[in-house]
Amino acid sequence: MAGAERRSAQPPMAGQWWARAAFAAVIAAAVLPLAVAGLLGLLTLLIAVTGGVAVGVAGIYWSLVNRGAVRVASAALAILAPVAVALLFVRERQLWVVLVSGALVAVAVACARRALRNDPGESRLPEFPAAPAQHPFLVMNPRSGGGKVVEFDLPRKARELGAEVALLSGSHPTDVAALARRAVQRGADLLGVAGGDGTQASVAAVAAEHRLPFVVLGAGTRNHFARDLGLDTKNPAAGLAALRDGVEILVDLGTVNGRTFVNNASFGVYAEVVRSPQYRDDKTGTVLRLLPDLLGRGSDTGLRARIGNVSVDGPQAVLVSNGPYATGDLAGLGRRARLDAGLLGVVTVTVASTRQAVGLLRRAHDRGLVRLTATEVVVDADRAEIPAGVDGESLRLETPVRCAISPGALRVRVPRTRPGTRVPPPTLNWARLRELAGPRKFR
Q: Is the pLDDT of residue 277 over 60?
A: no
Q: Is the pLDDT of residue 293 over 50?
A: yes
Range of weakest confidence among 50-54, 225-229, 256-260, 350-354: 350-354
- Cα 192–Cα 196–Cα 199 angle in degrees, nearest 5: 55
**Tens digit of pLDDT for each residue in 387-413?**
898 987 888 999 999 999 999 999 999
- Range 167-179 burial, b when 16+ CB lie within 10 A, else e: ebeeeeebebbeb
> pLDDT tier at 321 (50, 70, 90 boundaries)?
very high
> pLDDT tier at 442 (50, 70, 90 boundaries)?
very low
CA–CA separation, 321 and 346 (whole Å) = 6
Q: Is the pLDDT of residue 7 over 50?
A: no
CA–CA separation, 250 and 126 (whole Å) = 8
Mean pLDDT for 307-318 is 87
Cβ-based neighbours of 37, under 8 Å, separated by 6 or more: 44, 45, 94, 97
For each of the domains in the chain, give its residue range(s) and CATH number, in order of start.
12-117 (no CATH), 123-250+409-415 (3.40.50.10330), 264-408 (2.60.200.40)
More confident residue, 368 or 91: 91
**Tens digit of pLDDT for each residue in 103-113?**
998 998 888 88
CA–CA separation, 440 and 128 (whole Å) = 40
Mean pLDDT for 122-151 is 88
> pLDDT tier at 334 (50, 70, 90 boundaries)?
low
Please, what is the average pLDDT of the chain? Answer: 81
Task: Give the C-alpha distances (Å, rounded to integers) separating 300 from 316, 351, 388.
Answer: 8, 11, 17
What whole-number percentage of the chain has pLDDT above 90? 37
Most confident listed range (124-138, 288-302, 319-333)? 124-138
- At residue 371, φ and ψ (nearest 5 deg) are -125, 125
- What pTM was estimated for this model as a whole? 0.74
